[in-house]
Amino acid sequence: MKDIAIEPEVVDYITHHGRDFRLSTSCYGPVIVPLEVKPPKETDLRIQVNGNILYVSRVQARYIDRITKRMLCDVAYLRSCSVFKD
């Protein structure tokens, strides 16, 4: 699998929250969400971020080479996307 760069703002965000996140597909494109919103899958790529893990969907990993701050999204905003509805 190719290397995926992570912008410092994303590293800071994950470190500040002190928890694991997942980069997943949404109606709005790739987004970074807490695992409570979208749990990881066995097929996800795992990236260590200062003691936490950023899981990257296998689908997204094929298309991205950089994880950017634009992928950070308010969870309330995502609730309008059918991918994240229970």
Total length of the chain:
86
Burial of 72 (0-12, 13-18, 19+ CB in 10 A): middle
Domain annotation for the chain: domains and CATH numbers: 5-75 (2.60.300.12)
Q: In which residue are the tokens 């094929």 written?
A: 62
In 36-84, which ranges are E strands?
A: 45-49, 52-56, 66-67
Q: List per-residue pLDDT tens for the chain, 86 residues long.
A: 568 999 999 999 999 999 999 999 888 889 999 999 899 999 999 999 999 999 999 999 999 999 999 999 876 766 666 666 55
Question: Among residues 42, 15, 3, 76, which one has the least CA distance to residue 31?
Answer: 76
In the three-class reduction of DSSP (H, G, I as helix; E, B as strand; rest coil), residue 54 is classed as: strand
